Amino acid sequence: MGMRKDRLGDQIRDLIAENFIADKFSDPRLSGVTITEVKMTPDLGVAYVYFRTFDPNYASASSVALAKVSGRLKTMLAKSLKIKKIPELKFFYDTSIEEASRIESLIEKIHQEDNS
């Protein structure tokens, strides 16, 4: 089941991302949105869609806009995917870059303290 879940998540990520590459949305809050990852629940009923924006200050506005177009995205997924039930889409800002940077600076700080 894990392999199917991962494959479906990747397919959904690619299909949603195509809409942003093709700039199919007129909402300016969606310009600069990049879909980074989709994680599926074990029952495939919910897709957690992670996104980034060029400017992190627009993350909240983009999240609202994404929720607004989720119905259109689900319709597009229904036309493209051969599955019985299209998952609910939940959008989250991807903080992995900030977290990696924070961890890296903590490691650097530890190395500096060791060398002192």
Domain boundaries, given as residue ranges, for the chain = 2-115
Class of 2-115 in CATH: alpha beta
pTM of structure: 0.82
Q: Which residue has the tokens 């689900």?
A: 74
Please report the pLDDT score of residue 24 as a whole number. 79
45 CB neighbour count, 10 Å cutoff:
11
C-alpha to C-alpha distance for 27 and 77, rounded to whole angstroms? 20
Q: What is the per-residue pLDDT across 30-42, written as a single tens digit (0 to 9) for each?
A: 888 999 999 999 9
Please report the pLDDT score of residue 77 as a whole number. 94
Which long-range CB contacts under 8 A does 60-67 form with residues at least 24 apart?
Answer: 60/93, 61/29, 62/29, 62/30, 62/32, 62/33, 62/93, 63/91, 63/92, 63/93, 64/29, 65/25, 65/27, 65/29, 65/30, 66/30, 66/33, 66/91, 67/91
The alpha helices in 2-84, defined as continuous H runs, are 2-21, 59-80
Please report the pLDDT score of residue 113 as a whole number. 77
pLDDT in tens, the chain (116 residues): 567 889 999 999 999 998 887 777 888 888 889 999 999 999 999 999 999 998 888 889 999 999 999 999 999 999 999 888 999 999 999 988 777 777 888 788 787 777 76
